[in-house]
Chains A and B, each alone.
Chain A
Amino acid sequence: MTEEKTHHPEPSYLVDTGKYKGLMAWLTSTDHKRIGLMYMYAMMVFFAVGVILGMVMRIELFWPGQQFYGPQAYNGIFTIHGIIMIFTVVIPGLAAVFGNFSMPIMIGARDVAFPRLNLFSFYLYVIGAAIALASQFMGNGPPDTGWTFYAPYSIQTHTNVVAAVFGAFVLGFSSILTGLNFIVTMHRMRAPGMTFFKMPLFPWSLYATAWIQVLATPIVGITLLMIIAERWLRIGFFDPSLGGDPVLYQHLFWIYSHPAVYIMILPAMGVITEIIPTFSQKKIFGYKAIAISSLAIALVGYFVWAHHMYTSGMSTTARWVFSLLTFLVAVPSAIKVFNWVTTMYKGSISLKPPFLFALGFIFLFMIGGMTGLSLGALATNIHVHDTAYVVAHFHYIVFGGVGFAFFAAIFYWYPKMYGRMYNFKMANWSFVFLFTGFNLLYFPQFIIGMMGMPRRYFDYLPQFTLGHQLSFFGGLLLVIGFIIMLITLFSKKGAPAPDNPWGGRTFEWRIPSPPPVENFEVMPEMAENEQPYDYK
């Protein structure tokens, strides 16, 4: 195209152009970028609630014995902490925020395939989250079953289980519709010339994630409906006094809830896969291996659920099959780690905040992954099942992994989202606090877990005191880190961001910051010999 560029740039998506102004313009917008940001704000609120609940638990655990509140309150708090963090923060997490904001731009589309359905998913998310949150205050007190709602206790307890379960059901529906939307978007709306194997790897990870969302979530949906029916109608599927089978509940629950772990972590891996080559200015190592390993994780991850149930009563054969599959699913994850590290080799690395968080992710994810293997082995699992070791393991994955990838993604795409830079020094300090605080909070849990500290216990033996106290101080450092991060991002306007502050190659760095409403003035294409990560 040789014709002169007209100097009437399209207004940015942050400017209200429709018939509404202000808040209403956001709440009625079907623009994928605005929906992504709305998810982000909502998630920050829920995350803050979850963090506060977490700290409330740590305060109680500072000394053995009862300090501030009783065991029933403690049961309610860890249940709500789990429900909020899992169902409203980490499961929608990166896919809902950055999948919405970045993915359509990265594949060269103006929006997702079904923009109105996308907004509807957002509202379902808000409604589901509100119901889950309200379960804390309505009825006979907060649910005290743990976020897993294990039968038969979830059928017998007089606390407000139905509301929490229904909230989770609605959130699941929202997740399904987002996944459906993303699959169709990636099948139908890629830029001309962008074949599946030329698609950037964050969209690839979302594609694998979306299939898990679509294929696994309905199972937990029906299971949660069964729990509600059990409580209201006494249908007895899981109630041994009526001939039901509680272990069946555990199977149905984990058939979804283990793949849900991959719903959380796959987009996180995708973000890291974008950040590493950009800040190494080097082509990603093993593009196809990373793309296919996402699908492999999704596929194998579907068949490992019963490793949560080694002590629940299963045949030996079932246990070793699930153990074997658990070890297998670690292979594609390890492939990704090798590829990230190899991409950095001989790259020209610039240690900016997003890259720092990505390195933090790799470190923490490795610890989380390795300890996952020791949990997947039958013999050690019997020893550490339901101990603080498990708590430490999954926090290293869902917080050290997903959380740090989320922070990395915010620092990576922030200039694109708002058209502003942020203070690198402050961002680095937030990393220092978050990383130190995180390890101080969760590493002692591995040790006291090995020593025999059970999870979900309100009280403990005196020998675990030091571990719990270290964790408390780690928690404080984490909270300071969050506050520094929030100040860095939202306190004052930074310098205007250039279109491509990091030297990235994917489509989102070729359009203005912040992007115009329609994303592209001229629809992008991918040339025959072009690859998504064509660094030198």
Chain B
Amino acid sequence: MEHRDDIGSKLGMWIFIFTEILLFGGLFLVYAIMRSSYSTEFHQAAHHLNAFIGAINTVVLLVSSATVAMSISAVQKGNKKLAVILLLITLLCAAIFMVNKYFEWGHKIHIGLYPGSALMLTLSHGQVMFFSLYYFMTGLHMFHLVVGGIILTIAIIKVQNGSINKDRYVLLENGGLYWHLVDLIWIYLFPLLYLIT
């Protein structure tokens, strides 16, 4: 006997999202405490980040969230082809985000700004803390982006072979919810790390 409960599945996903928010919550707490102890150093260190790339990435992620939401509507309307295209655009956005991040991290590592580097040891405590937080938070965020990408890839395959269709699309909905979470966390990371200078 098949047991199916879409509301239950979505409830489960929402609870999982709570846990993810609390996972990042621990980091935001560390950020808040460190920022209050080292406000000037955080201010100086934030100038090293490229707000322009950060802004592009924010736009890219917002677009990707929109396309995920649209793909769900497309599936609900039975438009399989459009749904797949929209999901591919989402994955493309994720790829753009990752490429931008690659250049951002790569540049910093190139000039020696990474935890444990020789340059780091010459910086003040507050600046070290800022860059540690920067790598830890954006790194964990990227990990979530990759996980979200894998979930959406599975969703694309399932839309293709018809196991996600207009009668059952809870997996896609949950994948979309997760994707929005990844987006949401970035929405907080961007101003905290790039904009408050």
Question: In the complex, which residues of chain A have a beta carbon less than 8 angstroms from the beta carbon of B115?
Answer: 229, 233-236
CA gap between A56 and B81 in the complex, in Å:
66
Q: Establish whether residues B129 and A222, one from each chain, have CB atoms under 8 Å apart when the complex forms.
A: no
A244's partner among B5, B25, B129, B135 (CB-CB below 8 A) is B129
B19 within 8 A of A: yes
Q: Establish whether residues B129 and A243, one from each chain, have CB atoms under 8 Å apart when the complex forms.
A: yes
Q: Establish whether residues A113 and B8, one from each chain, have CB atoms under 8 Å apart when the complex forms.
A: yes
B128 within 8 A of A: yes
CA gap between A223 and B16 in the complex, in Å:
18
CA gap between A177 and B110 in the complex, in Å:
40
Q: Establish whether residues A218 and B26, one from each chain, have CB atoms under 8 Å apart when the complex forms.
A: yes
Q: Establish whether residues A234 and B8, one from each chain, have CB atoms under 8 Å apart when the complex forms.
A: no
Question: In the complex, which residues of chain B have a beta carbon less than 8 angstroms from the beta carbon of A223?
Answer: 26
Tell me which of A37-45, A121-129, A180-188 binds B.
A180-188
B25's partner among A113, A176, A218, A242 (CB-CB below 8 A) is A218
Q: Which of A236-261 contact B (CB under 8 A)?
A: 236-237, 242-245, 248, 252, 255
B99 within 8 A of A: no
CA gap between A217 and B19 in the complex, in Å:
8
CA gap between A310 and B132 in the complex, in Å:
29
Q: Establish whether residues A218 and B129, one from each chain, have CB atoms under 8 Å apart when the complex forms.
A: no
- On whether A184 and B27 interact (CB within 8 A), knowing A217-B19, A243-B125, the answer reads no
B22's partner among A218, A236, A242 (CB-CB below 8 A) is A218
Q: Which of A117, A217, A221, A235: most chain B Cβ within 10 A?
A: A235
Question: In the complex, which residues of chain B have a beta carbon less than 8 angstroms from the beta carbon of A226?
Answer: 26, 30, 136
Q: Establish whether residues B15 and A219, one from each chain, have CB atoms under 8 Å apart when the complex forms.
A: no
A214 within 8 A of B: yes
CA gap between A235 and B128 in the complex, in Å:
8
Q: Establish whether residues A188 and B8, one from each chain, have CB atoms under 8 Å apart when the complex forms.
A: yes
Q: Establish whether residues A187 and B11, one from each chain, have CB atoms under 8 Å apart when the complex forms.
A: yes
Question: In the complex, which residues of chain B have a beta carbon less than 8 angstroms from the beta carbon of A187?
Answer: 8, 11
A215's partner among B9, B12, B22 (CB-CB below 8 A) is B22
CA gap between A117 and B11 in the complex, in Å:
14
Q: Establish whether residues A214 and B18, one from each chain, have CB atoms under 8 Å apart when the complex forms.
A: yes
Least distance between A228 CB and chain B CB atoms (Å)? 11
Question: In the complex, which residues of chain B have a beta carbon less than 8 angstroms from the beta carbon of A233?
Answer: 115-116, 132, 135
Closest-by-CB residue of B relative to A115 is: B3
CA gap between A236 and B120 in the complex, in Å:
11
CA gap between A233 and B26 in the complex, in Å:
19
Closest-by-CB residue of A relative to B132 is: A235
How many A residues have CB within 8 A of the partner chain? 37
B20 within 8 A of A: yes
Question: In the complex, which residues of chain A have a beta carbon less than 8 angstroms from the beta carbon of B125?
Answer: 236, 242-243
Least distance between B172 CB and chain A CB atoms (Å)? 18
- On whether A243 and B38 interact (CB within 8 A), knowing A217-B19, A235-B135, the answer reads yes
Q: Establish whether residues A215 and B8, one from each chain, have CB atoms under 8 Å apart when the complex forms.
A: no
B23 within 8 A of A: yes
Q: Establish whether residues B26 and A229, one from each chain, have CB atoms under 8 Å apart when the complex forms.
A: no
A303 within 8 A of B: no
Closest-by-CB residue of B relative to A179 is: B15
B18's partner among A215, A225, A242 (CB-CB below 8 A) is A215
Q: Establish whether residues A222 and B19, one from each chain, have CB atoms under 8 Å apart when the complex forms.
A: no
B196 within 8 A of A: no
Q: Which of B114-146 contact A (CB under 8 A)?
A: 115-116, 124-126, 128-129, 132-133, 135-136, 140
Question: In the complex, which residues of chain B have a beta carbon less than 8 angstroms from the beta carbon of A319?
Answer: none
CA gap between A183 and B15 in the complex, in Å:
9
Least distance between A32 CB and chain B CB atoms (Å)? 13
A455 within 8 A of B: no
A110 within 8 A of B: yes
CA gap between A222 and B144 in the complex, in Å:
14
Least distance between A499 CB and chain B CB atoms (Å)? 24
Closest-by-CB residue of B relative to A234 is: B116
A176's partner among B3, B19, B135 (CB-CB below 8 A) is B19
A114 within 8 A of B: yes
The 3 closest A-B pairs by CB, nearest first: A243-B125, A235-B132, A222-B26
Provide 20 A-B residue pairs closer than 8 Å at the C-beta atoms, listed in order of the A residue.
Answer: A113-B8, A113-B12, A180-B19, A183-B11, A183-B15, A188-B5, A214-B18, A215-B18, A215-B19, A217-B19, A219-B22, A225-B140, A235-B115, A236-B132, A237-B129, A243-B38, A243-B124, A245-B33, A248-B33, A255-B26
